[in-house]
């Protein structure tokens, strides 16, 4: 049974036990998972199949994933074991049960592992919510993970204090068993390549504004905490209640702003024309993938191509 596609969700929700679980994903894997999460509903039955359209995924993220990258990502999501601790239990589980590629159609059909389903769907009162567009807009895999973590505490204003070992474990920078070499062991490297990059991306692209504090014990840093505030995001979020066409219209409006097309009549003419809207999405995709070169005035080029100038 395929999942319904009647709405485009505003918020992705994750069980907090999964948010703080130890795992690592590539940016491609995370984009696939974010897209999958956005399609989940509490009404979904066991065996529900979720269809991911590759073209739609790339248009939303502005990133291009080739067939090999997608194949490797779903294989990893199928085979990698995630460790989720809840109370007195430790669950070892994979995220996907299967991934079916429809060759020539640009679609992937995903099935969730049943043991993972409760952590994604049966959320009850213990969940984290975060915006789909924000999740997609973050290019750093560490920014994506820290955004998930910070979203868990946005109503409180600050996270709990994590030991650096705990924090690095959640980002898979340090193996708790010590069998793999630690990444960014020097605090300066952790700040430069993980914390500062993540903080800048989250503050620029999402509904959260965060800052971190490294805490010393004696002469060395031992722990970290994040301060979290909400802000009005620069980009337009996708409303949960909107139908697909309306949500697409909001994305189209965002693309027009990116191109510098602000004249009210032009904006309305484009948004009220399905042909122009489809052409706009195709133009943005080609622009981001360097299939169209327009460094000086991409908005003017789009208008000219559509006969609007």
Q: What is the per-residue pLDDT across 229-240, written as a single tens digit (0 to 9) for each?
A: 987 544 433 333
pLDDT over 70 at 179, yes or no: yes
Q: Which residue has the higher pLDDT, 63 or 180?
A: 180
What per-residue confidence (pLDDT) applies to 1?
53
pLDDT greater than 80 at residue 130:
no
Where helices occur in the chain by DSSP H, the ranges are 16-19, 27-39, 54-61, 67-79, 117-120, 132-137, 141-151, 164-170, 187-190, 196-205, 244-259, 264-271, 274-288, 298-305
Average pLDDT, integer, range 252-265: 85
User: Residue 81: what pLDDT?
Assistant: 84
Residues in contact with 300: Cβ distance below 8 Å, sequence separation at least 6, in sequence order: 309
Residue 248 has pLDDT above 70, yes or no: no
Closest by CA to 25, choosing from 185, 200, 145, 164, is 145
In contact, 134 and 196? CB cutoff 8 Å: no
pLDDT score of 149 = 87
The per-residue DSSP string of 164-221 comes to HHHHHHHTTSS-TTS-SPPSS-SHHHHIIIIIHHHHHHHHHHSSEEEEEEEEEETTEE
For 60-100, the pLDDT digits (tens) are 666 788 889 999 999 999 998 887 777 788 888 889 999 99
Q: Which residues pair with 243 in a beta bridge?
A: 7
How far apart are alpha carbons 65 and 68 in whole angstroms? 8
| Degrees to nearest 5, angle at CA 190 with 189 and 193 | 75
pLDDT of residue 196: 96
User: How high is the pLDDT of residue 172?
Assistant: 85
**C-alpha dist (Å) from residue 287 to 65, 263, 305:** 15, 21, 13
Average pLDDT over residues 165-178: 87
Token pair 């909400």: residue: 230
Percentage of the chain beyond pLDDT 90 is 26
State the average pLDDT for the chain. Answer: 80
DSSP code for 295: S
| Mean per-residue pLDDT, 165-184 | 87
Task: Name which of 114, 159, 158, 149 is nearest 129 in CA terms.
Answer: 149
pLDDT value at 126 more than 70: no
Answer whether residue 278 shows pLDDT above 50.
Answer: yes
First to last CA, the chain: 47
Whether residue 4 is predicted with pLDDT greater than 80 in this model: the reply is: no
Q: What is the C-alpha to C-alpha distance for residues 194 and 198, in angstroms, rounded to an integer?
A: 6
Question: What is the pLDDT, as a whole number, of residue 14?
Answer: 56
| Residue 17 confidence (pLDDT) above 60 | no
What the block records as the tokens of 31 is 């984009």
Instruction: Kindly report which listed range (23-27, 116-120, 220-224) carries the lowest average pLDDT score.
Output: 23-27
Query: Which of 120-124, 132-136, 218-222, 287-291 has maximum average pLDDT?
Result: 218-222
pLDDT of 247 reads 53
Q: Which two tokens stand for residue 145?
A: 């993970």
Among 15-19, 43-47, 69-73, 123-127, the range scoring the smallest mean pLDDT is 123-127
Residue 196 or 83, more confident? 196
Examine the pLDDT at 166 and tell me if it is beyond 70.
Answer: yes
Task: Quote the pLDDT of residue 16.
Answer: 58
The structural domains of the chain, ordered by start, are: 11-230 (1.10.10.10), 244-305 (no CATH)
Q: Residue 193 burial by CB count (10 A; 0-12/13-18/19+): exposed, middle or buried?
A: middle
Chain CA centroid to CA 248, Å: 18
Residue 15: band (very low, low, confident or very high) from pLDDT cuts 50, 70, 90: low
């Amino acid at each position: 049974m395929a999942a319904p596609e009647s709405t485009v969700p505003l918020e992705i929700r994750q069980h907090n036990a999964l948010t703080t679980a130890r795992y690592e994903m590539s940016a491609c894997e995370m984009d696939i998972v974010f897209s999958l999460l956005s399609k989940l509903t509490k009404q979904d039955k066991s065996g529900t199949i979720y269809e991911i359209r590759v073209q739609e995924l790339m248009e939303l993220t502005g990133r291009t994933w080739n067939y090999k990258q997608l194949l490797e990502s779903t294989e990893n999501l199928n085979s990698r074991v995630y460790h989720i601790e809840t109370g007195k239990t430790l669950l070892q589980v994979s995220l996907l049960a299967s991934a079916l590629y429809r060759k020539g159609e640009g679609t992937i059909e995903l099935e969730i592992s049943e043991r993972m389903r409760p952590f994604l769907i049966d959320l009850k009162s213990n969940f984290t919510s975060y915006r789909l567009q924000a999740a997609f807009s973050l290019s750093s895999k560490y920014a994506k993970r820290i955004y998930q973590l910070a979203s868990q505490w946005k109503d409180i204003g600050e996270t709990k204090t994590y030991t650096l070992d705990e924090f690095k474990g959640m980002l898979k920078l340090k193996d708790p068993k010590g069998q793999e070499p630690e990444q960014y062991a020097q605090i300066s490297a952790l700040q430069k390549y993980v914390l500062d990059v993540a903080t800048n991306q989250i503050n620029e692209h999402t509904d959260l504004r965060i800052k971190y504090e490294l805490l010393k014990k004696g002469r060395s840093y031992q722990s970290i905490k994040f301060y979290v505030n909400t802000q009005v995001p620069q980009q337009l979020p996708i409303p949960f209640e909107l139908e697909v066409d309306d949500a697409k219209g909001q994305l189209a409006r965002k693309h027009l702003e990116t191109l510098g097309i602000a004249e009210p009549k032009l904006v309305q003419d484009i948004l009220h024309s399905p042909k122009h809207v489809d052409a706009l999405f195709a133009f943005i995709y080609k622009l981001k993938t360097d299939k169209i070169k327009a460094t000086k005035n991409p908005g003017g080029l789009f208008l000219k191509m559509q006969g609007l100038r």
